Amino acid sequence: MSHADHAAHATSALRGVRVADFSRVLAGPFATMMLADLGADVIKIESPAGDDTRGWIPPADSAGRGTYFASVNRNKRSIALDLASDEGRQRAWQLASTADVVVENFRPGTMQKFGLDHGRLLAANPRVVMCSITGFGSGAGADLPGYDLLVQAMGGLMSITGDPDGEPTKAGVALVDVITGLNAVIGIQAALRHADATGRGQHVEVNLLSSLLAALTNQASAAISTGRSPARLGNRHPSITPYETFHAADASLAVAVGNDRQFASFAGVLGMPELADDARFATNQARVGNRDALRSLIEPALAQRPADHWVMALTEARVPAGRVNTVLEGFELAERLGLAPIVEIDDPDAGAPGRQVASALRLSATPPVYRSAPPALGAHDGAWWHDAASEPAPASEPPASAAASSAHLDLANQHPHRPESERHDDR
């Protein structure tokens, strides 16, 4: 970490917050990385085999590390513990019972079998916040497998994604896991604020299905208000038009007309100002009712010029428009706009700085800090909290009962709530 980063870390918003991270794969590690970026001391507690995503290769980064694992595990220390052993459970208890936050995404009931449930931790540390991440909650859905793909399907997202005449389609990233991770961070920080005010921690529960349904926003509101489920519209919007993609002469172009003023400007740029006075298109509601007729007039005009021509002309007219970029082109755009989307972090395993996607947060007084690259498995075995004056005392609680051993055996067949499309076992 550079001198500037050291100075920034000294004023990080979550500096001094201890996080014992038992989570793996995506939703939980994404949440704990966000906390770590904001200054929290995160110790990642892994099985001796490590987080599954360590083996999800290719692709790999310059250190030979799986890029999936690397994407959500910077700024953490890693210790490897065998929770089937008394020693492993004692060490886990030492960390969990002295943490401010404990994060886990095991099957409901597993932490209790290991003697690490919130009730037991709360008795030892009244301020502790536990965050449990599940697929379908801890009640009737506790035994349902929480794969991102299944939740996208079962929660309705796939039914409104894709071409109207094609197959229901999942998002190109494990979007539900990411949204759930964000919800976890919000819940954790609210619980920490409550603990600061009252001295009492609490149990935060987030699940993939509820996170998806809440994120469906306008589509969910329409469904529960009308009793009718929305249908797939491809790249079209159910309530606004033209708000979709079109083919320019050389590439796809996204146009996002959000009001009648923008539509009049859009029609003028296309050389078709009469469209704004046509009763079929003069208002947004009219345009939605005549979207096919409108598209049949718009697309031939757009096909006459390259996408960049239209982006420039429409932007000058204050009509939102942009090319459909690749991921790398998206990063290039962010660089041109001065958003600094990539950071470099010292990476001893690679022998050179590693490249990471920057946090999306910009805080004027307590910005995110990039202290360390994603850790090797067990690289920090024996680690203790940075702000602690001494090493831990012996565990104040005995290791969990023999039930923990059977829980560990069962754990080999449990899988965290991860995207089916990126799994390579137990399909």
Residue numbers annotated as active site: 177
The b/e string for 134-150 (b: 16+ C-beta within 10 A; e otherwise) is bbbbeeebeebebbbbb
Q: What amino acid is encoded at 24 in this protein? A: R
CB 363 within 8 A of CB 376: no
Q: What amino acid is encoded at 338 in this protein? A: G
**Prior bond to 58 cis, omega within 30?**
yes
Task: Please provide residue 252's backbone torsions phi and psi, each rounded to the nearest 5 degrees.
Answer: -80, 145
Beta bridge partners of 20: 43, 102
The b/e string for 237-255 (b: 16+ C-beta within 10 A; e otherwise) is beebbbbbebebeeeebbb
DSSP state of 55: G
Q: Tokens representing 227?
A: 């009793």
Q: How far is the C-alpha of 360 from the C-alpha of 337, rounded, in Å? A: 14
Q: First vs last Cα of the chain: how many Å apart?
A: 41
CB 195 within 8 A of CB 99: no
What DSSP string describes 61-126? -TTS-BHHHHTT-TTEEEEE--TTSHHHHHHHHHHHHH-SEEEE-SSTTHHHHTT--HHHHHHH-T
Q: Tokens representing 332?
A: 């290039």
SS3 label, residue 279: coil
CB 204 within 8 A of CB 194: no
